[in-house]
Amino acid sequence: MAKPIYIIGAGGLGSEMLALLKSFPEYSVNGFYDDKLKKGDLVHGLICLGSTDTLCTCTEPTILLLAIGDPLTKRNVIQKLSGNSKLSFPTFIHPKATILNEDTCTFGKGTIVTAGVVLTTQIKIRDFVLLNLNSTIGHDVIINDYCSVMPGANLAGSVQLYNSVLVGSGANVLNGISVGENARIGSGAVVTKQVLPNQTVVGIPAKPIG
């Protein structure tokens, strides 16, 4: 029998994760948790069961998928829920993602790899990472907790993303670059130099803003 699963976040990404879960018949989606909706609201054809605060006090074993793209929001939600050992977050790798050398790649809990993503070899992906549609991840890349790599972004070999980095859609991060904690890379940027923690960089070549 399919196991019940709930999605945290009922926005556009939540709707895409509902679609992704169609490829995992061992799970059946029973509803959403969302801080911006009211308990009982209908969303994407399912019910909202309450806010993430509800999950802090949940006493039944509960399987969840975190459908939040913004790394800092992800981190805050997970830190809030970390006291409740009843909650679990499986790893999802879509069957249409490609991992060229599977034995050498590792994926942490709550990490989601969507359709069309390509990973090559010797890659470490830690917890609650989102690798979104058609992104490519080169050899020896390390991606730390809460990072989100948006559609069509490319990380070349030996890139390292520290915790909670956002890589915008279509961005390119060149070989061996490290990107500091909480940094954001704008859509379409080409990152040619190290990015400092908390920095936002945009453009070609990418330069800091703000």
Ligand X SMILES: CC(C)(COP(=O)(O)OP(=O)(O)OC[C@H]1O[C@@H](n2cnc3c(N)ncnc32)[C@H](O)[C@@H]1OP(=O)(O)O)[C@@H](O)C(=O)NCCC(=O)NCCS
Q: Enumerate binding residues for ligand X (CB under 6 A).
A: 150-151, 168-169, 184, 186-188, 200, 202-203, 209
Q: Which is nearer to ligand X, 43 or 133 (CB)?
A: 133
CA–CA separation, 97 and 133 (whole Å): 9
Q: Do 113 and 97 meet the contact criterion of CB atoms below 8 Å apart?
A: yes
Burial 162-199 (b: 16+ CB within 10 A, else e): bbbbbbbbbbbbbeebbbbbbbbbbebbbbeeebeeeb
Neighbours of 127 (CB within 10 A): 18
Q: How far is the CB of 148 from ligand X (least distance, A)?
A: 8
Q: Which is nearer to ligand X, 105 or 159 (CB)?
A: 159
Q: Which is nearer to ligand X, 87 or 137 (CB)?
A: 137
Q: Which is nearer to ligand X, 4 or 180 (CB)?
A: 180
CA–CA separation, 24 and 17 (whole Å): 11
Q: How far is the CB of 52 from ligand X (least distance, A)?
A: 21
Q: How far is the CB of 163 from ligand X (least distance, A)?
A: 16
Q: Which is nearer to ligand X, 122 or 187 (CB)?
A: 187
Contacts of residue 178, defined as CB under 8 A and 6 or more positions apart, other chains included, come to: 159, 160, 161, 162, 194, 195
Q: How far is the CB of 188 from ligand X (least distance, A)?
A: 5
| Residue closest to ligand X, measured at CB | 186
Q: Which is nearer to ligand X, 62 or 172 (CB)?
A: 172
Q: How far is the CB of 125 from ligand X (least distance, A)?
A: 18
Burial 28-39 (b: 16+ CB within 10 A, else e): ebbbbbbeebee
Q: Do 158 and 139 meet the contact criterion of CB atoms below 8 Å apart?
A: yes
Q: How far is the CB of 20 from ligand X (least distance, A)?
A: 14
CA–CA separation, 98 and 124 (whole Å): 15
